[in-house]
Amino acid sequence: MIEWLGIAYEFAKDLKDALQWEEQEKSVDRDWLDKSGFAKQMAASGIDLYWSRPDNIATRELDGWPVVLELDRGKRVRYRLVRYDGTTLIGKPAKSA
- The tens digit of pLDDT for each residue in 21-39 reads 899 999 998 899 999 999 9
Q: Could you give the 3-state DSSP secondary structure of residue 30?
A: helix
Global pTM exceeds 0.85 = no
Higher pLDDT, 15 or 64: 64
| Across 34-61, average pLDDT | 93
Out of 3-17, 20-34, 53-67, least confident range: 3-17
Percent of the chain exceeding pLDDT 90 equals: 63
CA-CA distance, 67 to 40, in Å (whole number)? 17
| Across 59-69, average pLDDT | 94
* pLDDT over threshold 90, residue 6: no
Q: Residue 13: which pLDDT band, with cuts at 50, 70 and 90?
A: low
Domain ranges of the chain: 21-93
Higher pLDDT, 33 or 94: 33
